[in-house]
Structure 1
Amino acid sequence: MDKERLPRWGWLLIGLFLAALGANLLNLLVLVPTVLPEAYRSVTVIAIMSPVLIYVGVWYDEERQSYWEHSRARVVGDVLFVVAGAALGSAVALAAIIDLGLSSFLQDVLAMAAGFLLAWGLFWWRNPDMYAIETDR
């Protein structure tokens, strides 16, 4: 894929659209009818969108290309860590606010913020060297 074909926000928009589409199909066909309560359907969307938010930046930024030199197992482990963190963060946030009488839109936004923040925090925790401030003093 050619990075120069689209700006970063274009790749991010395409990735988030495809992730949301896949997550909603998973919800519609598998999870909501069988195991997941309807109120928690956004957890799947948040969990599947979180790697897109993190990895588009890692893929697009030239100064972060060294990340791809890690082993495939390390990268897959990071992705699974990010997905699990996003699912956990958004599920805990939803569990805490589900009975407060907030609109479902506001519940989803708060769950999204908690899930994405936890996912990014866990990615940063596993890869602190990628975000270190370099000084030449």
Structure 2
Amino acid sequence: MDKERLPRWGWLLIGLFLAAMVANLLNLFVLGPTVLPVAYRSITVITIMSPVLIYVGVWYDEERQSYWANSRAKIAGDVLFVVTGAALGSAITLVAIVGFGLPTFLTDILAMGVGFLLSWGLFWWRNQGLYADELDR
């Protein structure tokens, strides 16, 4: 994939669209009919979108290319932390606010915010050196 073919936001848009499609298919055919109530289906969307939000930036930015020199086990562990953080953050938020009678759109936005922040926080915690240059500014 040629990074220069599209700007960063283009790659992000394509990745988020594909992640949303995969998550909705998972909800429709696997989780929806079996165990997951409708109010909690956004957890899968948030969970699958979170690696896209983090890793498009790491892949696209030249100053972050050193990340890819890490072992596959480290990268897999980071992805696991990102996905787990997004799932836990969004699930805890939804459990806490789903009974308040807020509009579905608002509950989904709040769950996304908390899920993405927790997943990025866990990624940053495991890779503090990757963002050290931004802390020095």
Shorter-chain TM range is over 0.9
Please name the residue that 2:47 is paired with. 47
Question: What residue number does 2:113 align with?
Answer: 113
Among all aligned residue pairs of Structure 1 and Structure 2, give the percentage whose two residues are the same amino acid. Answer: 77
Backbone CA RMSD of aligned residues: 1.3
2-11 vs 126-135, greater mean Cα deviation: 126-135
Please tell me whether residue 18 in structure 1 is matched to residue 18 in structure 2: yes
**Aligned letter for 1:123?**
F
1:92-131 alignment runs, 5 A limit: 92-131=92-131
Task: Report the CA distance shift for 1:42/1:135 in structure 2 as closer, same or farther (over 3 A).
Answer: closer
Change (3 A) 1:135 1:78: closer
1:135 deviates by 8.9
Deviations 1:22-64 (Å, cap 9, x if unpaired)?
0000000000111111110000000000000000000000000
Matched residue type, 1:104 = T
Question: For 1:102, what is the secondary structure of its paired residue?
Answer: coil
Q: Which residue of 2 aligns with 1:32?
A: 32
Q: Count residues in correspondence.
A: 136
* SS, match of residue 100 in structure 2: coil
TM-score w.r.t. length of structure 1: 0.96
Matched with 1:72 is 72
Give distance in 1, aligned partners of 2:17 and 2:44: 14
Q: Offset at 1:133?
A: 2.9
Partner letter of residue 31 of structure 1?
L
1:134 deviates by 6.7
**Partner of 2:76: helix, strand, or coil?**
helix
Matched, 1:61 2:55: no
- Please list every run of 5 or more consecutive structure 2 residues that lacks an aligned counterpart in the other structure: none
**Alignment-mate amino acid for residue 54 of structure 2:** I
Gaps of 5+ in 1: none
